[in-house]
Structure 1
Amino acid sequence: MPDRREDVSTWIAAELARLSPGDRLPTMREMMRRFGTAQRVIEAALAPHVKAGRLVSRRGLGIVVTEPPDPARIWEADVLVLYRLSASRLARNLLMELEQRIKARGHRILILGFSDEGQALSILSRLGRFRVCMVQVHFEPITLPFLAGLSDHADQVVVDGISTTGVGVDAIGTNWREALSVAMRHLRQAGHRRIGFLTSNHPARPIAMARQEYLRQAEQMPGGGWLIALDALPGDYTSRDMAGALDGLSDGTGALPFTALITWGVVDGHLVDRALSALRLAPGADLSVMILGSVDFPSEHLDRFDVVGNSNAEKIDTFEQVLLSRLDPEGPAPATHYLPIRHLAQGSVRPCEE
């Protein structure tokens, strides 16, 4: 049987010039008969046009002609990940896991770090288009010019965190206000009525909402509660910062005015441990402690602090599912994806009789 590949290729090119998007080429079997050649020859002639997106071959639909490709739609990669540089191990873990999973699915992914929005926009200006851009900003706000720059280079935008919602992007994160409410409920069920909250004073929406929820609930506490807002981003607290802030609330004997403490933004359990040790306080004995964080990331809670928050495994799964759905033209509309709140008891909260 003769190899008629050149004849078939010439004929297909002529048909593409003649036909309109949505029209169909003859079936594979019909083309084999027309040119008196093997299936592999027809497939080889079709392959460049399928790869270029000019033809789509689907079971039940046949070989369909599509729109000529727009030069602006030549993808630099399927997924672009832009992440603000930080020391967060959780953030790095998420990116490494996603990179492995996206590549395992056969998609191309490019991961780039940036220090500020200006640098990120400069990087984008030298790049082409992407099907999806995921951005990780580590609680910093996303400005409208930055969001517009992302949209200029990607068809879809996915944000790590829920500070950006309702603007046509996917936002994935934890409602820390809800997590704080769950932690407060567990402590009250254990008999605690005087509860302190150590967090960040950063104005980011998730942090501000948690602070506001604490102050609302603290209205029922003696003295209106104890909000300890450190002048640092989550993940940037030091044990000295925490020990100093707590010590400033102690009386002459070193006793604190509350029986339980909730911490948020301390991404290393050793820091909590050292801060309390500096004040000669034993977690679970002298002071009940509950951390807001990831229930399955041991470096945050050392397998001995009680935790309320998200599951890191569920977070990674959610990001994978959302990114893959964004690579599907028929995927669902963008939405805010709240991670389920979990509670892990590990002995740092003891019953209290007040």
Structure 2
Amino acid sequence: MNVTATSTELDQYLAGLARAARPGDRLPTVRELMRRFGVSQMIVQRAIDALKTRGLVEAQVGRGTYFRAGADAPPAPPAAARAPAPRSVLLLRRSIGIVRGRVLLEGLQRRYAEAGQRVLEVSYTDPEHARTVLKGLPHFDAGVVQSSFKTITIELLAALREKCDVIAVDGAALVGADVEAVGMEWGEPLARAVELLRRQGHRRIAFASSTQPFLATQLAQRRLEALREQGGLELQAIGVPCLPDEDYAGALIEQLRALAGADARLPFSALVAWGIEDGASLRERLAQAGWPVPEALSVVLLGRTDLVNEHAGFFTTVGCRVADQIEQLHAAIAARWADSARPYAVHLIPVALREGESVAPFSEAVPRVRASRR
């Protein structure tokens, strides 16, 4: 940390308060200033003593420090010379190899760096580790936290609240909390994927997602139930018992093998799959298992339409763009900086579609390829 730069920002902040203060206005406490600027008590006290020497403030025992009546505050510089102090942003990410999370944070870093803001990225392995890391950090104007499919504990939120004026969560995981959440509700993309397949003649469609109870995918399951009630389609849910950062595609293949008949045919002609991190690997594994796409199985992915690692330049993908999530996170934080009294909200990313080659019109003459059982 550049202590000299930080103490200069503290001096500038106090000078600005002195210019705008009315007689009797109270200074922030020493502890508040230490937390905000990440400096020691000695540095804060030195800055306040400088104000006292200039006759700008006075201390009252038991009450605090106040701006004096008739104090000769320094004049404000010309408007053209004034520049807003740079904001500080903490990016807190769980250290796993999810490409989407890496791309999102790099995009946020670029946005804030272009605006002259200060950004610190910190990785953590679990909530307890994150709390330990946070203890040694200064105060930030905003913090963005990525949980990447793991629980954000109440204790971690409390630790973030102590360190950050604004908290934004990457993902629509928290509702009704004093955080800005930006993420995806997967019910609408699922409905669009099913409709796309229906228009191609498919009537038996499966939807695969993790068995972990994520809010976003649970909303998709509710949408699946609603689509079933409409009739005209046979819709099947497939639970994948792991997370996308694990061997998710391998677990999905095993679930498909368990559903295949003796002739290796699946009880559906199309699959909508959420949670695929490596589209090229999924395509290869499906072919090896006896279900080449789209000859034997049409597939639509629920994911990010602007990530090549997911759609692999091949899969039709319905979901969202990481670029849109970056913009919405940036906008949500900026809006709260501008108006701290505004209601907290869950910001849902617009649905996007990328058409690929993984969907074919339904045909009864699907090749009967015996799936490998290894």
Tell me which residue corresponds to 2:280. Answer: 270
| Mean CA deviation greater in 220-229 or 251-260 | 220-229
Tell me which residue corresponds to 1:237. Answer: 247
Matched, 1:68 2:27: yes
Matched, 1:176 2:186: yes
* Counterpart-to-counterpart distance in 1, 2:93 and 2:170: 9
Matched, 1:195 2:205: yes
The CA deviation string for residues 181-207 of structure 1, in whole angstroms up to 9 with x for no partner, is 121122122221100112110112112
* Counterpart-to-counterpart distance in 2, 1:197 and 1:294: 17
* Counterpart-to-counterpart distance in 1, 2:278 and 2:9: 53
AA partner of residue 144 (structure 1): I
The CA deviation string for residues 98-146 of structure 1, in whole angstroms up to 9 with x for no partner, is 1122122111111111111111111122223211111100122222222
Unaligned runs of 5+ in 2: 1-7, 39-86, 365-374
User: How far apart are residue 316 of structure 1 and its match?
Assistant: 1.5
User: How far apart are residue 332 of structure 1 and its match?
Assistant: 4.2
Partner of 1:152: helix, strand, or coil? Answer: helix
Tell me which residue corresponds to 1:12. Answer: none
* Counterpart-to-counterpart distance in 1, 2:304 and 2:281: 16
* Counterpart-to-counterpart distance in 1, 2:321 and 2:151: 24
Shift in CA distance, 303/68, structure 1 to aligned 2, threshold 3 Å: same
Partner of 2:177: helix, strand, or coil? Answer: coil
AA partner of residue 152 (structure 2): I
Determine if contact 1:131/1:156 at 8 Å carries over to the other structure. yes
* Counterpart-to-counterpart distance in 1, 2:254 and 2:340: 54
Determine if contact 2:166/2:333 at 8 Å carries over to the other structure. no
Partner of 1:321: helix, strand, or coil? Answer: helix
2:102 is matched with which residue: 88, 92, 112? 92
Matched, 1:153 2:163: yes
AA partner of residue 248 (structure 1): A
What's the TM-score, normalizing by structure 2?
0.74
| Mean CA deviation greater in 165-174 or 220-229 | 220-229
2:13 is matched with which residue: 18, 37, 53? 53
| Mean CA deviation greater in 81-90 or 218-227 | 218-227
The 5-angstrom pairing of residues 215-230 of structure 1 reads 215-218=225-228, 225-230=235-240
AA partner of residue 173 (structure 2): S
Matched, 1:315 2:271: no
AA partner of residue 196 (structure 1): A
* Counterpart-to-counterpart distance in 1, 2:196 and 2:11: 56
Unaligned runs of 5+ in 1: 1-47
Partner of 1:206: helix, strand, or coil? Answer: helix
Tell me which residue corresponds to 2:59. Answer: none
The CA deviation string for residues 199-245 of structure 1, in whole angstroms up to 9 with x for no partner, is 11011211222233324434567996432211111232344322221
* Counterpart-to-counterpart distance in 2, 1:224 and 1:149: 47
1:285 is matched with which residue: 280, 286, 295? 295
User: How far apart are residue 352 of structure 1 and its match?
Assistant: 2.1
Determine if contact 2:143/2:160 at 8 Å carries over to the other structure. yes
* Counterpart-to-counterpart distance in 1, 2:131 and 2:257: 43
1:78 is matched with which residue: 62, 81, 88? 88
Tell me which residue corresponds to 2:71. Answer: none
**RMSD, matched Cα:** 2.7
Partner of 1:248: helix, strand, or coil? Answer: helix
1:351 is matched with which residue: 361, 364, 368? 361
Determine if contact 1:79/1:132 at 8 Å carries over to the other structure. yes
User: How far apart are residue 300 of structure 1 and its match?
Assistant: 0.5
What's the TM-score, normalizing by structure 1?
0.78
Determine if contact 1:261/1:290 at 8 Å carries over to the other structure. yes
Determine if contact 1:172/1:338 at 8 Å carries over to the other structure. yes
Determine if contact 1:219/1:225 at 8 Å carries over to the other structure. no
The CA deviation string for residues 3-35 of structure 1, in whole angstroms up to 9 with x for no partner, is xxxxxxxxxxxxxxxxxxxxxxxxxxxxxxxxx
1:119 is matched with which residue: 124, 129, 132? 129
* Counterpart-to-counterpart distance in 1, 2:37 and 2:171: 26
Matched pairs, number: 304
AA partner of residue 224 (structure 2): Y
Determine if contact 1:239/1:274 at 8 Å carries over to the other structure. no
Partner of 2:302: helix, strand, or coil? Answer: strand
Determine if contact 2:107/2:326 at 8 Å carries over to the other structure. yes
Shift in CA distance, 155/148, structure 1 to aligned 2, threshold 3 Å: same
Identity %: 29
Matched, 1:134 2:134: no
The CA deviation string for residues 138-178 of structure 1, in whole angstroms up to 9 with x for no partner, is 12222222222211221111001111022121000011122
User: How far apart are residue 259 of structure 1 and its match?
Assistant: 0.7
